[in-house]
Structure 1
Amino acid sequence: MDFLKLLFPKSKSKIQKVELLVGSAKKGKAATKKKVVKENKFDAAADLLDFDEEGFFLEPEESFDFDIVGESFYQDQLQSIAGPKSDNGVNLECESVVYCDNENKHDKNAVTVSIKGLVVGHFAKEDAKEWRSMLAANKATEKNVRVKALIAGGWLRSKKSEVDEGHFGVKLDIPHYAD
């Protein structure tokens, strides 16, 4: 039996779905039940979740369109990874580690992102809930997941008396459904 199939049992459609039954009634008619399907934002990511000798990772797609939050609090860490600010800024591809941060005192469902062992941001609250749900559906709840990341920004330009400065930001290569 395939080891990965034991770790990641999936439905035939490869999409974990939650079915909600919604009752509706019209005047003089009995309530009928309609099936509404709610998909997890990260169902596509679940299909790319894989395992190797170093642990869990997402197969890269090079999309880098998933935004994290809180990078403004981690500018020193991002600068130590990406280097000093420059005229053109940076676009640095690297590997991040995404993990469920059960020790976070501000949010019991926090999902934290680190690069080179330094925290650089977090998932937004709703994204964190859905990420944890996707991991739970794939029996990987307490696991770190390696994900390709892009550190962008970090420019510093001076012309005469004007200064134009951009913060560093991080985008992850995680397929997801748009909100």
Structure 2
Amino acid sequence: MSSSIKSQVILIKNHVYVEEKQADSINIKLDSILILSVGPSTTRIVLNDLNDYLSKKLSKKKIFTSYAYLGRNITDAKKEFKLLNTDGYKAILLFLPKDSAFFEVTHSYSNRDREPVVWTRTENLYYEQAFDFRFYKAGQNPEKFWNALVEIDGDPSDNFATKKIGNKLISLFTKHKYIQ
């Protein structure tokens, strides 16, 4: 009797929710944006991917972007922000976690009733996080002109959230004439 093991990944849920909370008009052309993020390792991976996606999309619109990770928590982020040179940027886009990330990998095994015996290992990957995305006019006293609640549920290794959130942000920023 022989046996084999097959592995598969099952996605528990893929959900992205974006709700604008504030969308004020601005009287400047955004041709440069500093993108900043805060959060633990898993959150950082998701936000790095989102930054990469947004930077490519904005570059096509002739908008220069730069990215900085400010640390695991708000205390670290405030210290790092004070060290940043924000001169030359028209706006700052901040990705700020609202709660602790939930990340889980679960394993289960099953045996199919056939010859040869086949064991199947299933891994369930799940990431859940809520964010406050904020857009500020850059300067001595940054002024918030836009913000939204963003929720992500799903597999962090899949870029479903990156594309969906990135496209939604570009759409909203174009709608409000922050970008063209």
Higher strand share: 2
- Given the two structures, how large is their TM-score scaled by the length of structure 2? 0.24
Structure showing greater relative contact order (alpha-carbon pairs closer than 8 Å, 6 or more residues apart): 2
